[in-house]
């Protein structure tokens, strides 16, 4: 028989004889088998009768493929809903007597931290017990100072002489039993402090690796105008050239501070820096050819004995 009829006496297939796939011997991939190009997908009748009553798939050919519809772009409905809820919340808080601050975006990529609204008691009065407290309690041993530092070496304790507490220093309670470091500043550079050890073997003496046991720092500050007459000393410079310098005496004021808080805890009086003998090693200023004597170690030890002994 030359004509093909559908089974069970159904209507004839208008597309009979038209293959769904490519001609035999042609590759299957690379060509779509859906509707002709340029035809819309939705809203148009199926010209091939796929899925209609009486449709019969041709043997040896795969079923036609259909393109997936393109999803429309999503709209930021969540933002609009959030703005609406936020406006309602602001209006509600305003009726309750609570002020709400709105953070203005400054162009940074990071999201700003949301403001915290204070809880209001009935009647519109703010309840201070409901707000978190930022005050330090007496048990807090960390000083409220942005310049506080953590010491890694004994020389780091010089920061106390500039008003910076040492976070990992031992807490100061009483002078007796405390360990101490002493520093003196430079005449030419007042903010430059140098360690001056004294009282070796005494109870307050601390080695360089015992800085975590130190609770007191003695600061020897140069007294302006206390410079004495210089002593002429001949020394060799770094190139072995003989030079002459003025070795100058002066005075210092000793003050004791608690290392952990940088608060003053005592006075050590005046300490002389005598220039009796020319030193074997000294630093000097090339512009003035002056060198300043260091504070007397014996006088520092006597002051430590009096305050910490």
- The predicted-structure confidence for 224-246, as pLDDT tens digits, reads as follows 999 998 899 999 988 999 999 99
Quick: pLDDT tens for 113-168.
444 333 333 344 444 444 433 333 333 454 578 999 999 999 999 999 999 999 99
Residue-level length of the chain:
309
CB distance 292 to 194 below 8 Å: no
* pLDDT level of residue 177 (50, 70, 90 thresholds): very high
> Would you say residue 51 lies in a domain?
no
Give the span between the Cα atoms of 150 and 283, in whole angstroms.
30
> Would you say residue 117 lies in a domain?
no
Enumerate residues 6+ apart whose C-beta is below 8 A from 140. Answer: none
Give the span between the Cα atoms of 159 and 166, in whole angstroms.
8
> Would you say residue 220 lies in a domain?
yes
> Would you say residue 216 lies in a domain?
yes
Decide which of 49 and 173 is more confident.
173
Decide which of 196 and 106 is more confident.
196
Which residues constitute the domain of residue 166? Answer: 154-224+251-278+296-308
Instruction: Provide the pLDDT for residue 145.
Output: 83
* Other beta carbons less than 10 A from residue 221's beta carbon: 16
> Would you say residue 205 lies in a domain?
yes
Quick: pLDDT tens for 33-63.
444 554 444 444 444 444 445 545 555 555 5
Only one residue has tokens 């006496």, namely 9
Give the span between the Cα atoms of 58 and 19, in whole angstroms.
7
* pLDDT level of residue 106 (50, 70, 90 thresholds): very low
Among 200, 207, 215, CA closest to 300: 200
* pLDDT level of residue 110 (50, 70, 90 thresholds): very low
Task: Look up the pTM and report it.
Answer: 0.55
Q: Is the pLDDT of residue 197 over 60?
A: yes
Note the Cα 256 to chain centre separation in Å: 33
User: Does the CA dihedral 223-224-225-230 come out positive or negative?
Assistant: positive
Locate the DSSP E strands across 139-208: 179-185, 193-195
Instruction: Provide the pLDDT for residue 9.
Output: 47
Q: How far is CA 91 from CA 55, 57, 86, 95, 231, in A?
A: 64, 65, 9, 6, 82
CB distance 230 to 290 below 8 Å: yes
Q: Is the pLDDT of residue 26 over 70?
A: no
What region does 40 belong to: left with phi over 0, alpha with psi -120 to 50, or beta?
Answer: beta
Instruction: Provide the pLDDT for residue 112.
Output: 40
Decide which of 178 and 280 is more confident.
178
Instruction: Provide the pLDDT for residue 252.
Output: 98
Q: Is the pLDDT of residue 259 over 50?
A: yes
Strands 290-292 and 250-258: unpaired
Q: How far is CA 77 from CA 73, 85, 88, 274, in A?
A: 12, 12, 17, 82
Give the span between the Cα atoms of 151 and 214, in whole angstroms.
11
Query: How many structural domains is the chain composed of?
Result: 1
Least confident of 15-29, 103-117, 262-276: 103-117
- Residue 256 sits at φ, ψ, to 5 deg, of -100, 140
């Amino acid at each position: 028989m030359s004509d093909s009829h559908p089974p069970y006496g159904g209507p004839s297939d208008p597309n009979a004889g038209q293959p769904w796939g490519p001609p035999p011997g042609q590759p299957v991939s690379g060509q779509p088998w859906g509707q002709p190009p340029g035809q819309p997908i939705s809203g148009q009748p199926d010209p091939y009768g796929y899925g209609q009553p009486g449709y019969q798939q041709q043997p040896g050919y795969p079923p036609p493929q259909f393109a997936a519809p393109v999803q429309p772009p999503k709209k930021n409905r969540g933002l609009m809903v959030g703005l609406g809820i936020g406006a309602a919340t602001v209006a509600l808080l305003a009726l309750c007597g609570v002020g709400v601050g709105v953070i203005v975006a400054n162009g940074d990529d990071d999201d700003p931290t949301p403001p915290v609204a204070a809880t209001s008691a009935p009647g519109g009065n703010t309840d201070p017990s409901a707000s978190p407290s930022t005050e330090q309690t007496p048990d807090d041993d960390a000083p409220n100072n942005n310049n506080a530092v953590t010491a890694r070496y004994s020389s780091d304790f010089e920061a106390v002489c500039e008003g910076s507490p040492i976070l990992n220093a031992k807490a100061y309670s009483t002078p007796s039993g405390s360990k101490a470091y002493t520093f003196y500043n430079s005449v030419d550079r007042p903010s430059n402090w140098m360690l001056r050890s004294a009282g070796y073997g005494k109870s307050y003496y601390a080695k360089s690796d015992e800085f975590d046991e130190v609770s007191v720092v003695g600061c020897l500050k140069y007294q302006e105008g206390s410079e004495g007459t210089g002593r002429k000393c001949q020394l060799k410079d770094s190139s072995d050239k003989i030079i002459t310098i003025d070795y100058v005496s002066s005075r210092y004021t000793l003050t004791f501070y608690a290392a952990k808080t940088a608060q003053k805890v005592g006075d050590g009086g005046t300490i002389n820096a005598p220039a009796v003998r020319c030193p074997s090693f000294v630093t000097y200023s090339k512009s003035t050819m002056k060198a300043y004597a260091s504070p007397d170690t014996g006088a520092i030890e006597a002051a430590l004995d009096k305050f910490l002994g």
